[in-house]
């Protein structure tokens, strides 16, 4: 299942099943936060802009 991930260092967002090892934007080994919004429109998941 595809999710939306956001780099905690530079804010880069990516849609994939799992986050990458290195951020494609900043090139660092960063922590990615799953910011897929599961609370609204369960059938139509979208990035949670609050994160």
| pLDDT of 6 | 92
Handedness of CA 22, 23, 24, 27 (dihedral sign): negative
Both tokens of residue 40?
Answer: 């609204």
Both tokens of residue 24?
Answer: 């494609």
pTM for this model (two decimals): 0.68
Q: 6-45 pLDDT, tens per residue?
A: 999 999 999 999 999 999 999 999 899 998 875 555 556 6
Q: 37-50 pLDDT, tens per residue?
A: 755 555 566 666 66
| pLDDT of 29 | 93
């Amino acid at each position: 299942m595809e999710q939306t991930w956001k780099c905690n260092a530079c804010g880069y967002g990516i849609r994939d099943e799992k986050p990458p090892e290195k951020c494609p934007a900043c090139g660092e080994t960063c922590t990615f936060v799953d910011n897929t919004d599961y609370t609204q429109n369960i059938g139509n998941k979208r990035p949670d802009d609050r994160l």
